[in-house]
Chains A and B, each alone.
Chain A
């Protein structure tokens, strides 16, 4: 089955830049999506189609993708950005959709 690999945890000081990676063999052909989940809350879409931000998502959140790695970048991370971040994509056939294992961000 298809897998997306994320680091279990990332730590960053307030005001600095956090980068969370997501590795998957199909990412050169398939978009990555990123979700933020805070404790006790439902996930929230923060990046779609590799790098686009839904309305209302702060500009400090950005996405990129190169080869088999998609990256979520949080510039000037804030304490309020703490939570779990999940990437999401599909396998090369488009039939198997998966979430990455999640990354716990500590600011």
Chain B
């Protein structure tokens, strides 16, 4: 079945870096973009941006530029989120999610939302 499996929890010190992986299976990895979503403990969902898995082009939300990098390796059907210069405020659960999209018969694109999610990766930043 279609699934996204994320890497395990991380405990990091401020200033360090972390790389979260999101391995896709059950579908063609390059056919659906991957989005990243952050959830700070006890708070709501924040859209971080997405990576075009066909071209490798990332797009970042306004609040996630600079220290956040989306990348991918098509050979292992995996997307990555790297956060550098970690801050205590980066403590959160990070989710990857696959886009449900495609083209109608007349070539018009459609977007139906984020239909498959990873289980989440908890990143804790503490001294």
Closest residue on chain B to residue A98 by CB atoms: B47
The total number of A-B Cβ pairs within 8 Å is 53
What per-residue 1/0 map shows which CB atoms of A8-49 lie under 8 Å from chain B? 000000000000000000000000010101000011110011
Q: Which of B61, B113, B119 contacts A42 (CB 8 A)?
A: B119
Interface of chain A, helix or strand or loop or mixed?
A: strand
Q: Is A76 located at the chain interface by the 8 A CB criterion?
A: no
Q: Is B107 located at the chain interface by the 8 A CB criterion?
A: no
The answer to whether A33 and B113 touch across the interface, beta carbons within 8 angstroms, is yes
A interface residues, how many (CB within 8 angstroms): 22
Q: Is B68 located at the chain interface by the 8 A CB criterion?
A: no
Q: Is A61 located at the chain interface by the 8 A CB criterion?
A: no
Min CB distance A35 to B, Å, is 7
The answer to whether A48 and B62 touch across the interface, beta carbons within 8 angstroms, is no
Chain A residues with CB under 8 A of B113 = 33, 35, 45, 48, 88
The answer to whether A99 and B44 touch across the interface, beta carbons within 8 angstroms, is yes
Q: Which of B44, B47, B118, B119 contacts A97 (CB 8 A)?
A: B47
Residue pairs across A and B with Cβ atoms less than 8 A apart, 9 shown, are: A37-B45, A42-B117, A42-B119, A43-B97, A44-B117, A45-B112, A54-B112, A88-B47, A96-B61
